[in-house]
Amino acid sequence: MELRRLGSSDILVPPLCFGGNVFGWTADEATSFRLLDGLFEAGFNFIDTADVYSRWVKGNEGGESEAIIGRWMKARGNRGRIVLATKVGADMGLGRRSLAPDYVRTAVEASLKRLQTDHIDLYFSHWDDPETPFEDVLATYEELIKAGKVRLIGASNLSASRLFEALAVSAREKLPRYEVLQPEYNLCEREGFEAELEPICRRNGLGVVTYFSLAAGFLTGKYRSEADAGKSVRGREVVGKYLNARGTRILAALDEVAQARGATPAQVALAWIMARPSVTAPIASASRLEQLPDLLAAAELSLTTAEVARLDAASDWKG
C-alpha cells in the first residue's frame, strides 16, 4: 500500500482515511473498538473525527467520538502509530460557529483530554468563521503548534475565495498555513471541488482529504428505488437528493466497472477518488464490522484510464 504525504508536511498516510463520525452514533463503543481494531490490523492508521461528533444524537453533547477513540488508543497503547485528525469550530452550544482565539484554546484542551493524548496530528477548522480574522485564527494555531499540541492545520468547508485569502494571510504574516483541505467530494458532488478549490490546492501543494466520499451511502448501490429510503437513518434524504437521472447513470457506470473488476460499487467509487492526482485520501466510514473489508479493499483497486474516463463521463457536471 502506497503512503501519501499530507500537503508539504512529513506526515505520511494510507490512501484511505476512516471517518469517526459514526462512533457514538450508529456504532456503539464496543462496535467502534472492533472497527478500529480491524482497521489498524489491516495497516490503516489515519482516523478523522471532530469535537462535534456526535452532538446531534439525543442525549449526546459532542465529543463522544473523540472520547471513544481516546479510550481505544489508551487500551491498545498505539497512539504513536496513529495519524489523528480532529476539528474545531462547529457549533458546540454557542449557537454559532466560532474560531475565536480563546474559544479554540479552550476547545483544543477539551479535545486533547477526550482523546487522551498530548498532541493532534491534523487540526481542522471545521467551518469558516468570517467574524474572526484569519490573522487571529492562524496566530492561535501558531501558538498551538509551538506548544506541541498540534502538528499540522487544515480547513474544511472553506470556499475558494476564503481559502485563497487564508493562504495569502499565511504568506504575508509568516503564519502557519492550511496544509490540508477537507471538501465534500464524490462522483455525485464534483463541481464544488473541481471548479475552483482543486486548482488552488494543486497550485499550492495542499493535501486533500475528502468527506461524504460515498455520497452518504448512495454510491454503495444500496439506494436504487424510493423503497430503499428506509435502509438507513439518512436514507430518505439520500434518495431525494441523488436518485435521479444523473444518479442512475452513475450507478450504472459503477456497476459496469465493478462487475468487470470483481469489485463492489463502493470500492470503485472510492478508487475513483484515490485516482484523482490532487486527492490524498477519501474519508469513508463503516458502522458494522462486515462493512470494513469493502472499504479497505478499495485501497488496493487501481482503476485503468478507461475506467476512470467511463466514470467521469457518467458523472459529468459541465454539461
Say which residue the cell 498516510 belongs to.
13
Q: Is residue 252 part of a domain?
A: no
β 120-125/150-156 pair status: parallel
Tally helices (H) and strands (E) across the chain. 12, 10
Q: Is residue 237 part of a domain?
A: no
Q: Is residue 18 part of a domain?
A: yes
Nearest alpha carbon to residue 312 among 266, 254, 240:
254
Nearest alpha carbon to residue 88 among 122, 118, 114, 127:
127
Q: Domain range for residue 173?
A: 4-182
What CA–CA distance (Å, rounded) separates 69 from 48?
10
Q: Is residue 56 part of a domain?
A: yes
Q: Count structural domains, the chain.
A: 1
Q: Is residue 170 part of a domain?
A: yes
Q: Tens of pLDDT along 163-194?
A: 999 999 999 999 999 999 999 999 999 999 99
CA atoms within 13 A on the CB side of 243: 18
Q: Is residue 172 part of a domain?
A: yes
- Report residue 24 as a C-alpha cell: 457514538
CATH code, domain with 53: 3.20.20.100
End-to-end CA distance of the chain: 36
What CA–CA distance (Å, rounded) separates 231 from 24?
19
Q: Is residue 31 part of a domain?
A: yes
pLDDT band at 319, cuts 50/70/90?
A: confident
Q: Which of 53, 103, 178, 242 is catalytic?
A: 53
What CA–CA distance (Å, rounded) separates 153 from 138?
9
Q: Tens of pLDDT along 131-171?
A: 999 999 999 999 999 999 999 999 999 999 999 999 999 99
Whether 209 shows a pLDDT value over 80: the answer reads yes
In the residue annotation, 53 being an active-site residue is answered as yes
Q: Is residue 303 part of a domain?
A: no
pLDDT band at 308, cuts 50/70/90?
A: very high
Would you say 10 and 179 are in contact if contact means Cβ atoms under 8 Å apart? no
